[in-house]
Chain A
């Protein structure tokens, strides 16, 4: 089955700096890569996703890049703010027709220091 590795497990940045979280996956059939943000005491919430026919996707201060050849994808947050502090999960799936095949990474705890 799919194996998703996520690094780093913790990340501290100064407010205004950029943060990068990296994930690798093992199954070449994976073609859907969502990123979730989980705030303390809440459930994960989708913040951005990318499909294998796209190399990069941006949404305001958040961007995701995908390298299918190397089987890795990354989340980039620019101009970090204290409200970006949370746990971030990457995930990979061989299809978008049902979440039962989505494999999650182990999470990155991001701390933005004011």
Chain B
């Protein structure tokens, strides 16, 4: 597996609470991505980063923010979690010209 670590792997949180998911890479890849995976929707891009402090929105960015202060870390924050954000979240990395490597995923449940 590519050197990608997501934490936590599982989390249950209450509606309205802030949640931060972490993605850490050891590959020094320029691009990092956050996706969510839901039944019937496949993988949808939330936000991505093309360098330190350089980020942009994806297809389903509402309710999410990201930060990348170091090449190796990409954080996804749900400022106020809602039940619609219950999902499996995947981080991915890429050099930009080759395939993307995905992490193991974080299963988030908002109750």
Taken residue by residue from 52 to 64, chain B's Cβ proximity to chain A (1 for < 8 Å, 0 otherwise) reads as 0000101000000
Given contacts A104-B43, A105-B42, A106-B41, contact A96 B97 (CB under 8 A): yes
Chain B residues closer than 8 Å to A97, beta-carbon distance: 96-97
Smallest CB separation, A5 vs chain B (Å): 10
Contact of B100 among A42, A99, A107 (CB under 8 A): A99
Given contacts A44-B90, A100-B48, contact A89 B102 (CB under 8 A): no
- Is A98 within 8 A of B42, CB to CB? no
Q: Give bound CA distance, A100 to B31, whole Å.
A: 9
Interface range for A? 20 to 34
Look across to chain A and name the residue whose beta carbon is closest to the beta carbon of B96: A98
Smallest CB separation, A54 vs chain B (Å): 16
Given contacts A44-B102, A99-B94, A99-B100, contact A104 B50 (CB under 8 A): no
Q: Give bound CA distance, A43 to B4, whole Å.
A: 11
Taken residue by residue from 96 to 108, chain B's Cβ proximity to chain A (1 for < 8 Å, 0 otherwise) reads as 1111101111000
Query: Residues of A at under 8 Å CB distance from B?
Result: 6, 34, 36, 41-46, 49, 89, 96-100, 102, 104-107
